[in-house]
Amino acid sequence: MKRTVIFSGTTEGRTLSKMLSGEGIKHTVCVATGYGAALMDDEPSVSVHTGRMDKEEMIRFFKEQGFDTVVDATHPYAVEASQNIEDASRSCGISYIRVTRDEEDMTHDGMSYYESIEECARAVDKLSGNILLTTGSKELKNYLDNVSKETASATYVRVLPSAESIRICEEEGIAADHVIAMHGPFSKEMNEALIRQYDIRHLITKDSGSTGGFSEKIDAAAACKSTVHVIARPCEENGVSVPDCFEMITGRKAERAAVVKITLIGIGPGGRGCMTEDAASAIRECDALFGAARLVKGFDGLRTYEIYRASDIIPVIESEKIRNAVILFSGDSGFFSGTKAMVEDLRRLKKDANVSVYPGISSVSYLAARLGISYDDACLTSIHGKNSDEDIHKLAGTVRYNEKVFVLLSGGNDVAAASRILLDSGLNGNITVGSDLSYESEKITTMTFEEALSFDDTGICTAFIENKNATGRPVMNIVRDDELIRDNVPMTKECIRHESIIRLDLKENDLFYDIGGGTGSVAIEAASLSDGISVVTIEKDHDAVELIKKNISKCALGNVKVIEGDAANALKDMPRPDCVFIGGSGGKLRDIIKILHSKGDGIRFVINAVTFETVEEITALIKEYAPSDDEAVMISVSNVKKAGSHRMLQAQNPVYIFSFTL
């Protein structure tokens, strides 16, 4: 048998070592750091050598140990290390095998490729917003040498949780709260959480392939509308896969592991009587059962694990050699269920697994049956696990336009919170709450919105909301001036407001900035068009800010956020919007346009002007930026007012509306 050394530090190196260990084949694994050594399994057939070596040190090591096969399973970007390994192998006249990692063909709007970290650093230095650097501690100095202090202070660094990585970050002056020390690869959800937590607008990554979590980074950035900057691989490599390398070393093909069967089952509200026969049969036949504590409780005679994340489940399946696993979910697998994300994670983490899904009875269908009503004419929604004030406001918006609404709740506390907002919105109706449906403790309670304010059941809840004064959602959802509180704050009047919003060309899921909020009339009308539009209004006058908050509450909107302050300062650290309305700039129109334009192309602008000076400034900006779609219209509105027995025109100031895309 060949005497083999593997230069590892990657998933591929560890996988190959594990395959050789499974055959009882002795070999040596070389890792650069103690952290890399700690990731290796403690196997009697494996000797671990820790520490970096140059070419000459490798040659001495190969000769001392008598190796005849060298496997280079280092990272695709470890060009110098790979070259040293190959040169040392040739100098010693021993076999060299390069194990390569597949590249992934990923695309994402705003995705750019660079030849080096230095080139990438110089490019992001011209941009604004927070940066997440995921290229590792080795590239940190080269990055920092090519960016300004301002860019460096806006950079968050994700590195391995090793002493060496932390030391490098400290030496390079990275603040402790800008260091994210974690071991990957990371799921899309984890990446997305970090991007949102630190308000990341630019993600810098290497093309680390599927085992390095590259696609999960790209997908997360796309979900958060962040731009991606990719350091291209140094060169196209020739090499072999891990199974092919195993065959070259042992002379036989790698045996395929028995296919693992993983079944995701919706078991209904929770009671055993709600499970389908297919679900019950699959549970009886499985080797192990996974899920939340209340779901796996009581399955006597089965191995049960109170875990429900793929990243936790897969290691158990592999270490315990489980061949038939079942993961339980409450309700129906296709109705506001975690099964969608679970399927994606399982297929990513365990590509050879046979994953299937069994449906269940949703708590909505169960509650509807218990009430003796249909739900085919009802609106179905959920705030389970997402019950912030914004989410509950969105629920109120849904109830406003629907006579019948079924909603999955996170718990009994949601009932009182939702009822308060429903009452504040001027709605009248009943709410029926089903607690612990299908269990012995099941309870169904019908209350008015007022009575529901004191609801305090702690069980698992689903609700049916009946709105007695529901109105159909308007085809054109406009807000009239007399629906808003104005006081002495300037307002964009409704005719001008409607026309301006039309020219914004808003789309579902857009991020919209209203600059110079005034009464909040533009922000509120835009937000009322769809719960999917996220609106941020910026206003520097404190009294106006408080008025905007009152109007938001009056209109029961959960998708409007108010920022008090100077727009030019506030915008610097805010993400790229899709659309922007500028009703007042405080004399900083040029600065505002410049800051927003630096965040990326394709932003739609609508600007109102009432003075010739503002018109001249906007005209100069259009000439400077030269958009291809600029338009302008001047609107003069006169209201008809009664004056005794007569009616006469009362003119408003003429308003210029400019629109363009930069």
Distances (CA, A) of 555 to 262, 386, 501: 47, 21, 18
53 Cβ contact partners less than 8 Å away, ≥ 6 residues apart: 30, 61, 84
Do the domain assignments include residue 104?
Answer: no
Q: Which of 651, 646, 492, 453 is nearest to 583 (CA)?
A: 492
Judge contact between 20 and 44, C-beta under 8 A: no
Say if residue 464's pLDDT is above 90: yes
Say if residue 258's pLDDT is above 80: no
Judge contact between 345 and 317, C-beta under 8 A: no
The pLDDT tens digits of the residues spanning 158-211 come to 998 888 899 999 999 999 999 999 877 677 888 999 999 999 999 999 887 766
Domain identity same for 271 and 383: no
Q: pLDDT-based confidence at 347, cuts 50/70/90?
A: confident
Distances (CA, A) of 511 to 224, 226, 388, 560, 581: 11, 13, 19, 10, 12
Indicate the angle between helix axes 494-504 and 521-529, nearest 10 degrees: 50
Domain identity same for 495 and 563: yes
**To the nearest whole percent, how much of the chain has pLDDT over 90?**
41
Q: Kindly report the CATH number assigned to the domain that includes residue 398.
A: 3.30.950.10
Task: Collapse the DSSP code of 433 into the 3-class scheme (helix H, G, I; strand E, B; otherwise coil) and give the result.
Answer: strand
Strand-pairing partners, residue 504, are none
| Amino acid of residue 471 | T
**For the residues of 151-216, what is the DSSP string, one character each?**
HHHTEEEEE-SSHHHHHHHHHTT--GGGEEE--S---HHHHHHHHHHTTEEEEEEE--TGGGTHHH
Q: Which of 270, 607, 228, 463 is nearest to 455 (CA)?
A: 463
CA distance linking residue 321 with residue 337, whole number of Å: 27
Domain edge (last residue) among 344, 361, 378: 361
Do the domain assignments include residue 105?
Answer: no
Q: Kindly report the CATH number assigned to the domain that includes residue 488.
A: 3.40.50.150
Domain identity same for 536 and 394: no
Judge contact between 335 and 360, C-beta under 8 A: no
Domain identity same for 221 and 155: yes
Say if residue 492's pLDDT is above 70: yes
Q: Kindly report the CATH number assigned to the domain that includes residue 211.
A: 3.40.50
Say if residue 310's pLDDT is above 80: yes
CA distance linking residue 144 with residue 152, whole number of Å: 6
**For the residues of 643-659, what is the DSSP string, one character each?**
ETTEEEEEEPPPEEEEE
Q: What is the mean pLDDT of residues 445-462?
A: 87
**Boundaries of domain holding 371:** 364-467
Domain identity same for 149 and 173: yes
pLDDT recorded at residue 33: 84
- Structural domain tally of the chain? 5
Q: Which of 577, 548, 568 is nearest to 560 (CA)?
A: 548
β-pair type (155-159, 130-133): parallel
Judge contact between 150 and 129, C-beta under 8 A: no
CA distance linking residue 231 with residue 212, whole number of Å: 14
Say if residue 256's pLDDT is above 60: no
Domain identity same for 439 and 585: no
Domain identity same for 601 and 640: yes
Do the domain assignments include residue 28?
Answer: yes
Q: pLDDT-based confidence at 259, cuts 50/70/90?
A: low
Do the domain assignments include residue 253?
Answer: no
Q: pLDDT-based confidence at 542, cuts 50/70/90?
A: very high
Domain identity same for 506 and 624: yes
Do the domain assignments include residue 106?
Answer: no
| Amino acid of residue 186 | F
Q: pLDDT-based confidence at 337, cuts 50/70/90?
A: confident
Q: What is the mean pLDDT of residues 533-559?
A: 88
pLDDT recorded at residue 255: 65
Q: pLDDT-based confidence at 608, cuts 50/70/90?
A: very high
Q: CA 440, 342, 281 angle in degrees (round to 5)?
A: 50
Which stretch of 99-108, 161-170, 255-264, 608-617 has the lowest confidence by average pLDDT? 99-108
pLDDT recorded at residue 154: 95
Domain identity same for 38 and 51: yes
Q: What is the mean pLDDT of residues 51-74?
A: 93
The pLDDT tens digits of the residues spanning 387-445 come to 777 777 778 778 888 899 999 988 888 888 888 888 887 888 899 999 888 888 889 99
Domain edge (last residue) among 316, 337, 361: 361
384 Cβ contact partners less than 8 Å away, ≥ 6 residues apart: 336, 408, 409, 410
Domain identity same for 636 and 492: yes
CA distance linking residue 70 with residue 50, whole number of Å: 16
β-pair type (638-643, 646-651): antiparallel
Domain identity same for 428 and 497: no
Q: Kindly report the CATH number assigned to the domain that includes residue 346.
A: 3.40.1010.10
Do the domain assignments include residue 472?
Answer: no
pLDDT recorded at residue 106: 58
Do the domain assignments include residue 243?
Answer: no
577 Cβ contact partners less than 8 Å away, ≥ 6 residues apart: 510, 511, 512, 513, 536, 596, 599, 603
Residue 241 — left, alpha, or beta (φ > 0 → left; ψ -120 to 50 → alpha)?
beta
Judge contact between 87 and 25, C-beta under 8 A: no
Say if residue 214's pLDDT is above 60: yes
Domain identity same for 567 and 585: yes
CA distance linking residue 131 with residue 118, whole number of Å: 15
Do the domain assignments include residue 249?
Answer: no
Say if residue 493's pLDDT is above 90: no
pLDDT recorded at residue 456: 82
The pLDDT tens digits of the residues spanning 644-657 come to 777 877 767 789 99
The pLDDT tens digits of the residues spanning 225-241 come to 899 999 887 766 678 88
Domain edge (last residue) among 419, 444, 467: 467
- What value does the mean pLDDT of the chain take? 87
